[in-house]
Amino acid sequence: MARKFQEAAQRGEALGLNHDEMAFYDALATNEAAVRGLGDETLKKIAVELVQSLRKSVTVDWAVRETVRARLRVMVKTLLKRYKYPPDKQEEATETVLKQAESLSADWVTA
């Protein structure tokens, strides 16, 4: 198991992404069509921009306030459209990104 963590860390370093950015990159890269169509560089840009935007927008109670979640959902969809993420997978990617944000947001709010 330690080997898997080390390999994941090295993969993130090779791509030039930190832990949070790597989590979003992996979430977006689950769609093979997106990986083939956009490539690693564009997915990296999306991941970095997602982390920056979500960190600014996340508050302590964002996960329970539907208005905040709706605003974040629109922000993620707009970002995906701007980078031409495959439209057939945008809804799934948006939900995956928001789930990732939920798991990472506790660290963001305290930082």
Domain boundaries, the chain: 2-110
pLDDT of 72 over the 70 cut: yes
Average pLDDT over the chain reads: 80
Q: How big is the CA angle at 107 (ends 23 and 67), to the nearest 5 degrees?
A: 85
Given this model, what pLDDT does residue 77 score?
93
Instruction: Say if CB 80 and CB 93 are below 8 A apart.
Output: yes
pLDDT on residue 8: 58
**Using CA atoms, how far apart are residues 29 and 59, in angstroms rounded to an integer?**
27
- The answer, yes or no, to whether residue 26 has pLDDT greater than 70, is yes
Q: How many CB atoms lie within 10 A of CB 98?
A: 18
- Residue 55 burial (CB < 10 Å; 0-12/13-18/19+)? middle
Output 4 or 68, whichever has higher pLDDT.
68
Note the Cα 54 to chain centre separation in Å: 9
